[in-house]
Amino acid sequence: MRRLLVDIGNTTVARAWMDEGLELLGTLSTGAGLLDSLPGPPGEVWVASVADAAHTGSLLDPLREAGIPVVEVRVPDHAGLLETRYHPAQLGVDRWLALLACRARGWYPAVVVDAGTATTIDLLDSEGVHQGGYILPGLEMMRSALLAGTAIRLREAPIACAGDALPVGTADAIHCGAIQAQVALIERLTASLAAGGRVVLGGGMASTIAAHLRCRWETMEHMVLQGLAVLAEGDEACAG
């Protein structure tokens, strides 16, 4: 069965075909439907959403009306697949799927970072157990919140942060400060890992953070879709 995998995030919607492999389809433009630009309808749609119910429903209702089966993934329904010290009912499906994808690849111990609208930082220990993690404002949200809550008015755009050089302008100080705050937390957690540990980065700001890390790191494109694929493959194996 050809499945469509869908990641409904806070600001973007990403899709992938899953058949014999995973074919990433990129992000949808604003106002587009989940079936737009597809060559044909999928046999089933698997969805992970962190958006509100109204937005999620506006995307999924047309599929249901067309008679296409929709599987909305919720962490408590699959809690046994990943051991976690976090409260399962409070663990976002996006974080859980990213961890599941890393666990399936044997990428642990690891600090798993999804840097988007928010930055989530989670720790998998040497046994692949999720020990917990952090949720931070994303880099742009950090900058916006600071500007909204102070009298600072920027007259220039920030430049790229260069190595250990201290910023000498306000725009750079804000931009680089947000990056370095997140990098410092990631590196502190990474230092606590057992030998062979790594940082796994995903999300739209992954490359920005990676440029400042001094520890071992690698990227995983579309972590949530990769985790959905692991979950759907397991379901298919059980059904078979």
Q: Which of these is catalytic: 94, 114, 122, 172? A: 94
- Of 184, 174, 100, whose CA–CA distance to 140 is shortest? 174
Residues 17 and 220: beta-carbon distance below 8 Å? no
Q: What are the distances in angstroms from CA 184 to CA 37, 96, 212, 239?
A: 42, 23, 10, 45
* 16 φ/ψ angles, rounded to the nearest 5 degrees: -155, 145
Alpha-carbon distance 174 to 93, whole Å?
Answer: 31
Count of residues for the chain?
240
* Residue 94: active-site member: yes
**Long-range pairs of 27-34 with CB within 8 A, sequence gap ≥ 24:** 33/59, 33/62, 34/4, 34/6, 34/59, 34/60, 34/62, 34/63
Dihedral in degrees, nearest 10, Cα atoms 231, 129, 113, 117: 60
**Catalytic residue ranges:** 94
